[in-house]
Amino acid sequence: MIKTDILIIGAGPTGLFTVFEAGLLQLKCHLIDALPQPGGQCAELYPKKPIYDIPGFPEVLAGDLVDNLMEQIKSFEPGFTLAERAETIEKLEDDTFLVTTNKGTQHNAPIVAIAGGLGSFEPRKPPIPNIANFEDKGVAYMVKDPEVYRNKKVIIAGGGDSALDWSIFLADVAEEVTLVHRRNEFRGALDSVEKVKELKDLGKINLITPGEVDGLQADENGHLASVIIKKKSEATEEIQLEVDHFIPLFGLSPKLGPIADWGLEIEKNAIKVDNALDYQTNIPGVYAIGDVNTYPGKLKLILCGFHEATLMCQSAYKKIYPDKKYVMKYTTVGGVTGFDGTKK
């Protein structure tokens, strides 16, 4: 079981900055995120888009902001449980919380900070009736570790940036890459479309458009063995292809998900908090910060998440150490321990 002071659900910008603010108070943090990488919406939805309203940065790419936040918290050595969704919460007899993920990983902490943004990003799945039987047996909806596909036969479906980018990347890793899209035109960046066409001409990507994966077949162990593709030309043609992996990349849709069943007060798909005080929810010890919360005048902005994280950590410190007197100090003056690991 993973034990920490503050268990943060969601490794978006709000969750990451919480680690820094907690670290200044010498509180340890562990983060859980359903995505395989930290950064939340910034990393998943718009890493190459500039942001103009982060104080002190006239312009910063969302992906670079995430890299900077990771650098800023490095010395506090936060723990990460990635590619797992926080599923259940239980209050234990000692007043701490036990949070278990969909993969069964257990986390224990006196404070839970929900920084879940728009909710966990759930993959959009293609309507193939038996697809659930193949999850973790050849079918994956996101690429967590490209090495899994080394020297394998891979089929990717989709027409956006993820499908194009991973087809290009895996062309050098996998034995065979097939990209299937139901239209002839792709939605992704033009240079990626051009690159895919180049790789097709070089025989490194097998491109099937317009087409759709319509059926999946198993080997004797229940692992994916082949797919049936419907290629639409004048007459629909059925192609059977032997593959090891099928990766449908049809985007992710955010859902508040299991957190909605944790007994929290919810209003319009967001968690109600006490913003006059410390962003605590109706469950003492459970806070909600960043895009996931709501209160009068709420703005879903990164800098608001940073502010909420800061006040929340002060309150968490008082809860964990009710008898200790904490005097707030600036990171630039004496007495603050930890932001670079040394006593200042």
User: Judged by CB under 6 A, which stretch of 159-167, 195-203, 242-250, 301-309 contacts ligand FAD?
Assistant: 301-309
Question: What element of type H or E holds 8?
Answer: strand 6-9
x-or-dash pattern for ligand FAD, window 53-72, by CB under 6 A? Answer: x-------------------
**Distance from C-alpha of 15 to C-alpha of 3, rounded to nearest angstrom:** 17
Q: Which residues pair with 59 in a beta bridge?
A: none
CB of 293 to ligand FAD, least distance (A): 8
- For 285, how many CA atoms within 13 A lie in the half-sphere containing its CB? 19
User: Judged by CB under 6 A, which stretch of 109-117, 167-175, 231-239, 240-248 contacts ligand FAD?
Assistant: 109-117
Using CB under 6 A as the binding rule, the residues of this chain from 118 to 177 that contact ligand FAD are: 118-121
For residue 259, state whether it binds ligand FAD (rule: CB under 6 A).
yes
Spatial neighbors of 284 by CB under 8 A, at least 6 apart, are none
Binding residue for ligand FAD, selected from 7, 111, 112, 115, defined by CB under 6 A: 115
Report residue 34 as tokens.
Answer: 């359903």
**Distance from C-alpha of 72 to C-alpha of 4, rounded to nearest angstrom:** 19
Binding residue for ligand FAD, selected from 152, 300, 318, 319, defined by CB under 6 A: 300
Q: Which residues pair with 232 in a beta bridge?
A: 236
User: Judged by CB under 6 A, which stretch of 90-98, 156-164, 221-229, 286-294 contacts ligand FAD?
Assistant: 286-294
Residue type, 238: E
Binding residue for ligand FAD, selected from 12, 188, 211, 338, defined by CB under 6 A: 12
User: Judged by CB under 6 A, which stretch of 66-74, 88-96, 110-118, 159-167 contacts ligand FAD?
Assistant: 110-118
Spatial neighbors of 75 by CB under 8 A, at least 6 apart, are 23, 338, 339, 340, 341
Q: Are strands 29-33 and 120-123 parallel, antiparallel or unpaired?
A: unpaired
CB of 128 to ligand FAD, least distance (A): 25
For residue 305, state whether it binds ligand FAD (rule: CB under 6 A).
yes
CB of 57 to ligand FAD, least distance (A): 11
Q: From residue 279, give the alpha-carbon distance in Å to each of 101, 224, 289.
A: 24, 47, 7
Q: Considering beta carbons, is residue 45 or 241 the nearer one to ligand FAD?
A: 45
**Distance from C-alpha of 124 to C-alpha of 120, rounded to nearest angstrom:** 12
Spatial neighbors of 327 by CB under 8 A, at least 6 apart, are 335
Q: Considering beta carbons, is residue 14 or 178 the nearer one to ligand FAD?
A: 14
Report residue 135 as tokens.
Answer: 């999850």
User: Judged by CB under 6 A, which stretch of 216-224, 262-270, 271-279, 288-296 contacts ligand FAD?
Assistant: 288-296
Closest residue to bound ligand FAD by CB: 117
CB of 327 to ligand FAD, least distance (A): 29
For residue 112, state whether it binds ligand FAD (rule: CB under 6 A).
no
Total binding residues toward ligand FAD, as defined by CB under 6 A: 39
DSSP state string for 203-248: TSSEEE-SEEEEEEEE-TTS-EEEEEEEEESSSEEEEEEE-SEEEE
What residues make contact with ligand FAD under the rule CB under 6 A? Answer: 9-15, 32-35, 40-42, 45-46, 49, 51, 53, 85-86, 115-121, 257-259, 290-292, 300-303, 305
